[in-house]
Every structure is written in structure tokens, then in C-alpha cells.
Amino acid sequence: MSESTRKSVLPAKTHGYEFGGPPVVFAASFVLPIICYLAAFVCNDISGCPVPSALHLRSLTLLKLKEEVGWPHDGVRGLASLKVTGFVLAYYFVSLILQAALPGIVQQGVQLRSGARLEYKFNAFSSAVTVLLGAAVGTYLKGPDFALWTFLWDNYTQLLTVNMVIAYALACFVYYRSFTVKAGNKHKRELAAGGHTGNLAYDWFIGRELNPRITIPVIGTIDIKAFCELRPGMLGWVLLDLAFVVHQYKLYGFVSDSIILVTFFQSVYVFDALWMEPAILSTMDITTDGFGFMLAFGDLVWLPFIYSLQARYLSVYPVHLGLPGIAGVFAVQGLGYWIFRSANNEKNRFRTNPKDPRIAHLQYMKTQSGGTLLTSGWWGFSRHPNYLGDFIMAWSYSLPTGIAGYVVKHGSPVVMSHGDMVDGEGVISGGPVKQQVLQGEARGWGMLITYFYVLYFAILLIHREMRDEEACKKKYGKDWEKYQEKVRWRILPGIY
């Protein structure tokens, strides 16, 4: 293989292990699904959030725990079903059909090592709107009993399982297929810099091929990574949130301001990403990372099921914020979104048209590699200001849950209207036999679940920032050191 043809497939050199290397990623391949199942079972509408046994570990028994978490009567087989599998596959198929059928923007990606550029079709926003319009029509005709919302709630655990299986299957498929990448291939296929170490577990997790694509009859060519990035999981996040809103209404006869805020904020985040879909072409996920289990699981499982935990919690235990609480949460969200979107817009405008009047006044430094680095505006404030905005917004998703935690008390028949308060801290729901949802001894412990997203997101952003820094050091060399002298802080000036 000549050097020129080798370069078209393989990077000049690998950059070593990340994420702690093979032992850590191997463990993560099993731990991440367990975390998702724990979140699904330990916080539920059967016994509480967290389940009572979690607060009394000394008296915990397996039989009692199974009862409290709602473990399926038929055991592990109950974690999935053919009906739910068919539904999920149909959902993915509809996503593929909409990408192929609806008009969209066709844009070229960044230049690959071979000098070629891949083409991408962007219409995730219109695809999502089409699906939600269909759901809106169904809800208008059937009300809260529309089959979609009931199905999502009743089959939550099975939906989680099927999407996990799809993530594992995709990771295995693209890993196996990556060995068919040949030098000088006409399909512009390349291996990712960090995904061909030779360690099976690590390469499978990180992803060997940079931009795996498949051609499906009638539908056409699909970029697997770009498809998973913003389509099934992102829209699934919104659909789950909406199902939880509907469930709260069916349970109590009202929709709380807290769940409205959470669903609204998260929907804005999703549709902002869908509207700005072409911006993914400059992200590390697309330009650098291969597609393996990490992205497959993150896009299809972790994002929709972990990110929607707050709405799921509020569907069972409504929190009423009142005007002061609403204003406070809006202020947090608004600040975060303003920083996030302003910083990203500034960067994208500078990259596409440095003479744009909105950013022409910004200062920058040229590098020996031919690139430019902003040293004023948001990107003079810190080296990753968009991460700061992202982190602030994360708080607005969890704050509406308050000091979280509840216990479900199954009582005797009482005559009360939906949503009546109990002792100022709980709610009563159900039909003739009522169900009391109180905070009780669980108060505060539920925050381990509803605020998990904030902790996880902080770790994610810091790790992503460290990866960005390392990549920039390699790309810009000594120029990056000069840039660090001009822009000292990584994310938040004075702190980090």
C-alpha cells in the first residue's frame, strides 16, 4: 500500500487510548445499560422514588425489591416483547422514510484526510415536525387516551430494552463492516484516528469507521452516525416527555407548571439542535470520533431515557412552582441558552463568513496550520463558553423537581377529586381506590435521580473539553500555547 493510498484510509498515527482505555470502556459497555435500568426501576409509580427498600438496606430482600420495582412476572423475558420491537422498528423506519422523502438542505462535510468531502442531507427539523403533527392530530381526536401516549407509558421498560438491543446490534454491525474499508475506495470511507488500536473491546466501543454509510433500496444512502445523532433519540426524548405530561393529566386531572417547564425547555433544546442540524458537521462527533457503541448507545438509549427522567418523575409527583419559581427557572434557562446559542452562532458565523458584520469586529490570531482562533467576544471570554451555557441549562431541567423524592401509599377507598393535596406535601390519584403520593422519608433522596443529569453533564462537558484541548494542541502546536496565554480560562473565568 502506497503512502498516498494508505493516507486515504488510515490516519498518519493513532492518538492512543481515551476514556481510561480498554478496561474502562469494556466495563462501561455493561455499566451504562445497568444505570438505565436502575433509573427505570428504582424510581417508579408503584412504590416510590427511590423505592422504599433503597432507604432500608438492612431489611432489603430480593422478593420485596422485585415487588417494589415492578419486576416483570415472567422475569427477564418481560423486559422486551415482539409488539414493542415491531413498534420501535417501525419508528426507525418512518424516520428513514422521512429523511429520504422530505425536501432538505444538501451540504458538504469537512474535508477528509483523502481530500474528499461527504454530502449530507438535512431535514431532521421538518421530519420531527411531521411526526409531532401526526401525534397532535391523534391527540385532538382521541384526547389523552390517544394510543401513542398510553403505549409509551405502559411499555417504557420494553422500549428501553429494544433500543439497547438496536444500539448493541449497530455497534457490532459497523465494527464488522469497518474491516471492508479499502484504500482508495470510491465511497470515501475512512477509519477514525482513535478507533483502530487493534484492541477489539476498545475499537468496538469507540468506533473504527469514521462515517459508516449504508445504501437501502428506495430510501438511498444513509449516514448512520449523522442519522443517529439527531433523529430517533432526539425526537424520542420529546415524545417521552409528552407521554409523561399526558400521564400526569390522566392521573390527576391537571398538568403542573413544573412538568410544562421541563418539557418546554427540553423541547426547545431539541428543536434548536434540529433547526441548526448542519452545525453538527463541525462537531467532534462527526469530524473525529468513529461510530461505535459509545455513540450508538448515547444517541439511541442514554439521551432519550436518561434525559427525560425529570419529566417522568413529575408525571407521578407533580410539583407546583408558582410564579416566583417559574420566573427563577426561566432566568436560569434563559441565561444558559443565551450563552450557548450566542457562542455557537459567533463561532459558526466566523467560520462561514469572517466578514459578516455581526462578527467582523472580533479579534483573532492566525496559526501556522492556516487556521484562525478567535481571541475576543465569547471565545475570548473562555476557550469553551458554549459548554458553560450548556451546563447552566442543565440545571433548569432538574430545578423544577425541587427537593425530590416520594413514597407511593396504596390506601383504602376515599372520596376526593383528582389532584387534592394531602398534608400539604402529597397528592391523591386514581379511581375509586385512591393512591397517595407523599414525600415522607424519601424527600431529598430522589434528587440522586432527578439531578443525576446535572452531575453527569458536568462530567461529560469537562471530559469533552479535555478532549478538545488535546486535539487542539496536536492541531495547532505552539500556536495553541500562545492562544492559551491570550484566553486563559477553559470554561468559566476565575474557576476553571
- pLDDT tens for residues 165-224? 999 999 999 999 999 988 777 778 898 888 888 899 999 999 999 999 999 998 999 999
Q: What are phi and psi of 185, to 5 degrees?
A: -65, 150
> Taking Cα atoms as reference points, which of 335, 356, 330 lies closest to residue 345?
356
The predicted pLDDT at position 13 comes to 54
The predicted pLDDT at position 10 comes to 57
Task: Give the model confidence (pLDDT) of 296-319 as tens digits.
Answer: 999 999 999 999 999 999 999 999
In percent, how much of the chain has pLDDT > 70?
Answer: 92
What are the beta bridge partners of residue 214? Answer: 222
Do 401 and 313 contact (CB within 8 A), yes or no?
A: yes
Identify the burial level of 398 via C-beta atoms within 10 angstroms of its C-beta, where 0-12 means exposed, 13-18 middle and 19 or more buried: buried
Q: How many CB atoms lie within 10 A of CB 81?
A: 16
The predicted pLDDT at position 494 comes to 83
The predicted pLDDT at position 416 comes to 38
pLDDT tier for residue 127 given thresholds of 50, 70 and 90 = very high
SS3 string, the chain, reads CCHHHHHCCCCCCCCCCCCCCHHHHHHHHHHHHHHHHHHHHHCCCCCEECCHHHHCHHHCCHHHHHHHHCCCCCHHHHHCCHHHHHHHHHHHHHHHHHHHHCCCEEEECCCCCCCCCCEEEECHHHHHHHHHHHHHHHHHHHHHHCHHHHHHHHCHHHHHHHHHHHHHHHHHHHHHHHHHCCCCCCCCCCECCCCCCCCHHHHHHHCCECCCEEEECCCEEEEHHHHHHHCHHHHHHHHHHHHHHHHHHHHHCCCCHHHHHHHHHHHHHHHHHHHCHHHHHHCHHHHCCCCCHHHHHHHHHHHHHHCCHHHHHHHHCCCCCHHHHHHHHHHHHHHHHHHHHHHHHHHHHHHHCCCCCCCCCCCEEECCCCCEEECCCHHHHCCCHHHHHHHHHHHHHHHHHCCCCEEEEECCCCCCCCCCEECCCEEEEECCCEEEEECHHHCCCCHHHHCHHHHHHHHHHHHHHHHHHHHHHHHHCHHHHHHHHHCCCCCCCCCC
| Residue 7, pLDDT above cutoff 90 | no
| Residue 68, pLDDT above cutoff 50 | yes
The predicted pLDDT at position 417 comes to 37
| Residue 463, pLDDT above cutoff 70 | yes
Q: How far apart are CA 421 and CA 171, in angstroms?
A: 48
Average the pLDDT over 356-374 and give the result. 84
| Residue 90, pLDDT above cutoff 90 | yes
pLDDT tier for residue 114 given thresholds of 50, 70 and 90 = confident
| Residue 3, pLDDT above cutoff 80 | no
Residue with cell 424519601: 442
Q: What are phi and psi of 176, to 5 degrees?
A: -60, -45
Average the pLDDT over 351-361 and give the result. 82
Average the pLDDT over 239-246 and give the result. 98
pLDDT tier for residue 348 given thresholds of 50, 70 and 90 = confident
| Residue 377, pLDDT above cutoff 60 | yes
Mean residue pLDDT of the chain comes to 88
**What CA–CA distances, in Å, run from 346 to 250, 272, 322, 359, 383?**
44, 16, 36, 7, 13
pLDDT tier for residue 426 given thresholds of 50, 70 and 90 = low
The predicted pLDDT at position 37 comes to 97
Residue type, 203: D
pLDDT tier for residue 112 given thresholds of 50, 70 and 90 = confident
Cell of 150: 398510553
Do 225 and 212 contact (CB within 8 A), yes or no?
A: yes
Task: Give the model confidence (pLDDT) of 248-289 as tens digits.
Answer: 999 999 999 999 999 999 999 899 999 989 988 888 888 888
Q: What are phi and psi of 424, to 5 degrees?
A: 75, 0
